[in-house]
Structure 1
């Protein structure tokens, strides 16, 4: 299979790939708005308000990092487990509205139809990952599914992507990573994998990543 090519500051051939490793939230599914709504509702139930810009820099950050930021910036009084349960009591009610991300869905289905080995590598908890994939109807497309609970270190550490490659029996340099966050893209790059950075909003592209604009078509990048 030919790998994607795009114009970069230092054009170079992109290696071919045998497997595709996907981030979940914001890349495969449009879950970020649901997380924002659930967080706001959970804070409101405690009589708290998120300060302006509290979530700056938190895209792609693991649950423990987000919890720490809420404690520091919003005065959250709950321990992480209690906060998780409270937020999830709101988030689960929003899941029927979860949809695959339109700019990646065509590529995902085409790769699945071609039998390309695929994995999900997420900084979200196992519960979040399983519920989101089931709600979006995507769970059956992946041979390997890794959550934050399945690794010692979350993104930007490359552990999750390297573990997924081992489980798929594919070398890291033969893997293509698709990410929407800077920490996730850094994890893919540090794993030695070709990494497409496809954010939902304009962002600084991590050095070495292939940029796909927020409105870009992933299938066109990969197959055309």
Structure 2
């Protein structure tokens, strides 16, 4: 039984990738560059830094571009992004059943604001966002912090995410890893795989 559930945010708790890609596309278009949103989203799903590096090499995007993109992205996410189906129910169930939810994301404070907007922020015991300054995934540093602070037993702790980076951060910390894929994909790094969050109840 898992008592401590650590969540990724983008592509796991919230369906944010389409809005991230659209904001990136619109920022490129403002500079006279046309790229398919689907291609941008594909890079984003690996990691945001992967997308930045790809388009930096291709088009020479700079800090001004990233600042404009981040502003547009935050506005779009706050207006449009929603949790995946069943997330509100499963996070509420976890908290009500004596277990604990945690957030570990590379995203900034916007992640917490979106949890608040969705009415589920109170379900989370601690949220680690970019502002906390922990090493990026797949580093286990942030998870080690949670394990030590909340006295978690590794065998009762699981990391849920939609990318190998998320899973590897969990495995590197000595805990279980659960892969969420909307597209019926699998990962060699996962102890469990979900294609629908209703499946999570049987794992817990």
Given that 1:106 and 1:219 are in contact with CA atoms closer than 8 Å, whether structure 2 keeps it comes out as: no
CA distance in 2, matches of 1:210, 1:167: 25
5+ long unaligned stretches in structure 2: none
CA distance in 1, matches of 2:112, 2:66: 15
Aligned residues: 202
Deviates more, 1:192-201 or 1:164-173: 164-173
Number of the residue aligned with 1:167: 149
Name the CA shift for 1:135/1:85 in 2 (closer, same or farther; >3 Å): farther
Given that 2:167 and 2:189 are in contact with CA atoms closer than 8 Å, whether structure 1 keeps it comes out as: no
CA drift at 1:65: 3.9
Matches within 5 A, 1:178-193: 178-193=160-175
CA drift at 1:91: 2.0
Name the TM-score, length of structure 2 as normaliser.
0.85
Which of 77, 83, 91 does residue 100 from structure 1 map onto?
83
Which of 128, 134, 141 does residue 116 from structure 2 map onto?
134
* Other structure's SS at 1:217 match: helix
* Other structure's SS at 2:39 match: coil
Which of 27, 30, 45 does residue 45 from structure 1 map onto?
30
CA distance in 1, matches of 2:41, 2:80: 22
Deviates more, 1:20-29 or 1:103-112: 103-112
The Cα RMSD (Å) is 2.4
Greater helix proportion? 2
CA drift at 1:156: 1.6
CA distance in 2, matches of 1:205, 1:41: 32
CA drift at 1:59: 1.9
Residue 123 (str. 1) matches residue 106 (str. 2)? yes
Number of the residue aligned with 1:77: 61
